[in-house]
A and B are shown apart, each in its own frame.
Chain A
Amino acid sequence: MIKKQKKYIYIFIILALIFNIKVMYVYASGDTSGGGNDSLDLGGGNGKGNSFCKTKHWYNPRYNYTLTSYTRLQWSIYDMYGNDIINGTKIAEYDAVKAGTWIGVNATETISANYTLTDVTATESFYGFTCRYTRDTGECESSQKTTCAEYGISGECLNGKPSDVSNCCKWNWKCTKYKTETITKSGEISKCEGEDSIDAKCKEMKPSGYNYKNGDYTSDEITRNVDGSELNNIKNTIKDKLCDAITNYVSSNSSKVLKYSSDDIYPSNASNTIISEGSGIEGKCESESGKKYQNYEYVQPQVCINIKTSKVTYGRKCNDDEFTIENGIAKDGNKYWHYFVPLNIKSTDNLYLQLVSDSDSNNYSNKICKSIMKKKTDAGEDYRAYISPADETITFTGDYETDIAKLGNKGKCKASISINIPIEQKFYNEIDENGTKKFKGFNFYYEPIDISNPFPNGLTQSSLWYEWLNDKSGEKLDISDSFSKKTYEINVNNLYAIRQYNSDYTDWSTMSLNGKNSFIDDYDITRYTNDFYPLGCGAKNSDASNKILYIKECTTNKYTGGITGGSG
């Protein structure tokens, strides 16, 4: 019975999750209440290491309790400048992320559980026991022999039943008279009362003149009310059990995983490489209430980008041709890791990110799942932002009736949050063809300029040169002075030599990470300058004070070698 009750406690905790969903996080909460007689296991056994005895003595607590638990999944998405770009449950179109670039992801989960304990009363049950004693009362009259025999005395009493045993024993018959005594425990109970101890107690309590009849006793259950410090001890025991329950719940709920739309080229699915870092269980348990919680942060420990191919990989140590992308700190102080958006995603294809529970034991029941779906539908929200089917072969459509049918009467759900991130394609040139977007070349173009008046018609704000055009600092690039300083020079006397160099133009194998090209040295091109950035580096990421992702290799990789020609 007690074990069964214990099992119910944990089942209640898990099954009683009722959701209250807030903006951009899942707040999954539930509560259950209970109480009554013997609702908690207070221990058992014969006193070996337990404060209470169940065999011969036990407490019957009565109490009311409420257990509440919730799981909150939350994330923030940051732009390159550390601004949180989630507005409500969406990312605004004007915060669209450039295809190929990155977003900062801070994903956390809070597991919390608490209890309240009220109306604690208790009774104590134990066995009182009756000992049997005997004494020699002399001989009985013959008329009383029968009566004595009824009392199990050897000999004969032939003349009727005596008024009491003492009368019986006035006669010469050697009768044995017995006396009963009830021993009621009192005072503090510190150990179980086993049969041996009862036997010893009976011997100890033997009345004068009587002989204890060894092992001859009976027992009855006796109940009394408990109060004072004894009741406080019981409260503490119940509190400890409730505290254990919420602590176990908080510590056992982790292992979430981030999923997102994968791409064959950029980058591969990173879901298996995300790890959770628990903050440790916090909170406290007091006599009438308690709360325990733990925060988990889901992080990507390693993000690497190949400097020459720009391919991004997650979850392994970066090699020599890769930059290690360190976690960043957002403006709000949160730590985030970098997720690189596929480069070839079209602006019509939103990037779908989802954070979902990866633990089957934490699946929500069919009833709770449907409850969430209805609640969110009634509120005009898309429940897919908060839950997803536990069965991954099922995909919710967002239509309530359709999805309820899909879920059936047995389908379960996982807690999840998801978001669609609007994308703007700035690398490839998109054209509309029969209502669909297609790539046609790059989004940038070549244009010859007159160095004395490079932009006679002005520039739009999206132009790469807009900032230059409006730079009044006087330190900007002097285009009018374009031909004053030679930077490289080659005399091509034999075209065939260079033509024999057979390599794809997009092959960057001759490039060193510091931006230096061995082709220039190999084909006698005179270099008059060493003023260029390492690969992957530029003004935006070479300075730790810059607001965009700083790469320390952009400083350490800088080419400082000599030039091969004069001043030019």
Chain B
Amino acid sequence: MKWSFASVGLILIGIFGIIIILLFNEITVSNEQDYYTLKEATEAAMIESIDITYYRLTGEIKMSQEKFVENFTRRFTETSTFGQGNYKIEYYQISETPPKVSLRIIDETNSYNIYTFKSDIGSTQAKIVNELSAILDVYK
């Protein structure tokens, strides 16, 4: 009898562990996915937003701020795998020349509520947040 309970206990512990693993796996995969989407979309959007006319007139590299916002928004949403995703994209400091962006992606599709035993505190929502600052520079 004692071994029977022990076996059941082990099974329950195993199941709980698997749940934990799956949970963190999803969190980390989503996080990694968001990060690379963020990185790739940022890179492409920055380069696509180069104001060539300004380059021809001055020889300087300048990025159009509003074009970047459009292109990044479009690229990020088009490469996200979650069809009905719930993201918040926040743009912060954007420098047109020299080109630099700072932005933050908040993935609200995969947020988690963490409850404590003290009911007066309520739940804490954990969101997957990625932020990135990047620049453009030249090879030579």
Contact = CB atoms under 8 A, between A and B. Distances in A.
Given A343-B56, A495-B77, A495-B83, A464 B133 contact: no
B25 interface: no
Interface stretch (B4-12, B16-24, B65-73): B65-73
B73 to A, nearest CB: 6
Interface string B72-98: 011111101011111111111111111
Contacts of B69: 488, 517, 520, 525
B56 A310 contact: yes
Contacts of B95: 477
B123 interface: no
B104 A483 contact: yes
Give the secondary structure class of A's interface: loop
Interface stretch (B26-34, B43-51, B112-120): B43-51
A509 to B, nearest CB: 11
A519 B48 CA distance: 15
B62 A538 contact: yes
A462 interface: yes
Given A485-B92, A486-B91, A517 B70 contact: yes
Interface string A398-412: 000000000000000
Contacts of A442: 47, 50
Interface in A133-147: none
A445 B139 contact: yes
Interface string A501-538: 10001101011000111011001010000001101111
Contact of B56 (A340, A445, A482): A340
A224 interface: no
Give the secondary structure class of B's interface: mixed
A429 B138 CA distance: 9
Contacts of B138: 426, 443-445, 462-464
B45 to A, nearest CB: 8
Given A101-B59, A340-B56, A495 B73 contact: no
Contacts of B131: 483
Given A305-B57, A515-B65, A464 B91 contact: no
A444 B61 contact: yes
A539 B99 CA distance: 13
A548 interface: yes
Given A448-B132, A492-B87, A538-B96, A100 B55 contact: yes
Contact of B54 (A102, A493, A541): A541
Given A516-B66, A535-B64, A541 B77 contact: no
A270 to B, nearest CB: 15
B124 interface: no
A218 B82 CA distance: 124
A265 interface: no
Contacts of A94: none
Given A448-B132, A499-B78, A463 B85 contact: no
Contacts of A525: 69, 73
Contacts of A356: none
Contacts of B67: 508, 511, 517
A448 B91 contact: no
Contacts of A506: 48
A482 B78 contact: no
- Chain B CB within 10 Å, residue with most, of A312, A484, A519: A519
A447 B137 contact: yes
A520 B70 contact: yes
A461 to B, nearest CB: 11
Contact of B74 (A312, A444, A505): A505
B64 A511 contact: yes
19 contacts: A310-B55, A343-B52, A343-B56, A443-B139, A444-B138, A447-B137, A449-B133, A463-B138, A464-B99, A464-B137, A482-B102, A483-B104, A483-B131, A488-B69, A492-B77, A492-B89, A495-B84, A498-B74, A535-B64
Closest A-B pairs by Cβ, 4 of them: A517-B66, A482-B102, A536-B53, A446-B43
